[in-house]
Amino acid sequence: MPVHPYSRNLHTVEQLRVMERAALSALGMAGPGLMRRAASAALNSLSRHWPQLQHICIHCGPGNNGGDGFLLGVLAREAGLRVELVALTAASHGDAAAARAAWEAGGGRVHLWDAHGELPGAELHVDALYGIGLNRAPEPGAASLIEAINDSGRPVLALDVPSGLDADTGHCPGAVIRADVTLTFIAGKRGLHTGRAADQVGVLELATLGVPDSVYADVPPDAQLLAAEALPPRARYANKGNYGHLLVIGGEHGMAGAVRLAGESALRAGAGLVSVATRAGHVSALNAARPELMAHGVDGPQALEPLLERASVLALGPGLGQAAWGHALWLTALGAGKPLVLDADGLNLLAREPRRFGAPTVLTPHPGEAARLLAVTTASVEQDRFAAARELARRCGAVVVLKGAGSLIADPDGRLDVCPWGNPGMASGGMGDLLTGIVAALLAQGCSAWQAACLGTGLHARAGDRAAQQGERGLLASDLLAHLRALGNGMTGYEREHD
């Protein structure tokens, strides 16, 4: 599909309702006119993705999403397709009632869903059950239909939102459609890009339905998708001192790998110098494996202080532990007041001893760490990742990267971006250590905390996607390093970028 100039913008349900009213006014039409445009866009999507299709089944709910489905049935029938239509209720309301009447006026039958019945044997199912308004678990009857569609073994096209998925948060409180393609209308919904949405949306397309630019200009987005970016070319007259001195602090006994991964990713992301403060027993192994890292054994705060003086940016937490050694280094490092990336046990210690940050700081929690920092459950964080990321950023005075499917980057003022890249293969040990090193390296090279978090999260996820082309299962954190270097230098010709 053509890329719309506002395709990176993500909106809340409340904003979308405002935009829909504004669109109807600007276009000088009533609801059924916009509904017909949605149905036409849906037929176009069907034709592009499944050009040999002959028999479809459309599942309609009682509201406007169901109305889109009824009018799709009318258009598909006119196009020569065999169409069967299943409805949740005996009547529709609002504009959907007129759409239902149009289907029936042409001789179309409506089959009422019976939880004990069977689905028609169609080649494809269209989900037009619920739109953006559903923020609770579907009723039992609807849930049984959703489960039947998911179990059918046939491809599914979802109209606007996979039914059962909260369009605001990406949370799924009950049964939810698992779509192969989701065609969303007018503008991007933020809940389609994070959390559980990753398993439910499939290929996501935007049909703007001819809405004029003024509608988008009048409603600023709640969030945006990251754009694919790289660092600018370096000046020819440059030396290592121009690109910062990063100090990675961590690596309790048995966790040398964490500081090595953080340090090496920082080098690959372009930091001029990278030192590592760790347990003395790890120094020889680090020197042998990656001599470019300047490894120092530190037994406590006194040994750490001269390293802190020389560093311009700190990466605190990979493999740090929460015992006396790690806690002492944590307190000393935070006391230096330098730009900082805080991860892993650095965050767990912060949950025990909360503070706000004055220097530029990036926190990179996974949902469990975010829950501890906010004193809530992990399930609560996942129910509204947007609210959790924003509250944590506000509370700590730091930029926050809430990791997971559709990682979120939030700042203390409420700005929020969503990462559209990444894959399940990245759910493996060491990936977070890489991200810490990358973001800290970007801070060391002069990026603001916001810039470092956004660019670093994007580079990390895109490198993961590139490395996963050989398979997601078995992906190692170190597999990303070569791709990270290429992407940071703007070498993107070999990968498929997000539009």
Question: Which domains does the chain carry?
Answer: 9-225 (3.40.50.10260), 240-488 (3.40.1190.20)
Of 166, 108, 96, nearest to 138 by C-alpha is 166
State what percent of residues in the chain have pLDDT above 90.
Answer: 93
Q: What HEC string does 44-100 produce?
A: HHHHHHCCCCCEEEEEECCCHHHHHHHHHHHHHHHCCCEEEEEECCCCCCCHHHHHH
Q: Are strands 294-297 and 273-278 parallel, antiparallel or unpaired?
A: parallel
DSSP notation for 368-428:
HHHHHHHTS-HHHHHHTHHHHHHHHHHHHTSEEEE-STT-EEE-TTS-EEE-----GGG-S
- Compute the mean pLDDT over every residue in the chain, rounded to the nearest whole number: 95
Check if the beta carbon of residue 465 is closer than 8 Å to that of residue 421. Answer: yes
CA dihedral 348, 352, 356, 360 (to 10 degrees): -20
- Structure confidence at residue 496 as a pLDDT band (50, 70, 90): very low
pLDDT at 1 over 90: no
Tokens representing 139 are: 């009723």
Mean pLDDT of 442-446: 97
pLDDT at 361 over 70: yes
d(CA 94, CA 97): 6
pTM of the model as a whole: 0.94
Of 177, 68, 60, 70, nearest to 113 by C-alpha is 60
pLDDT at 489 over 80: yes
pLDDT tens-digit series, residues 230-267: 888 888 998 898 899 999 999 999 999 999 999 999 99
pLDDT the model gives residue 117: 83
pLDDT at 497 over 70: no
Task: Name the phi and psi angles at 111, rounded to 5.
Answer: -95, 120
pLDDT the model gives residue 495: 42
pLDDT the model gives residue 116: 83
pLDDT at 2 over 70: no
* Amino acid letter, residue 207: A
pLDDT the model gives residue 6: 83
- Structure confidence at residue 499 as a pLDDT band (50, 70, 90): very low
Tokens representing 309 are: 């003086």
Mean pLDDT of 200-207: 97
State what percent of residues in the chain have pLDDT above 70.
Answer: 98
pLDDT the model gives residue 231: 87
Residue 487 has, within 13 A of its CA and on its CB side, a CA count of 27
CA dihedral 274, 278, 281, 287 (to 10 degrees): 0
Mean pLDDT of 116-121: 88
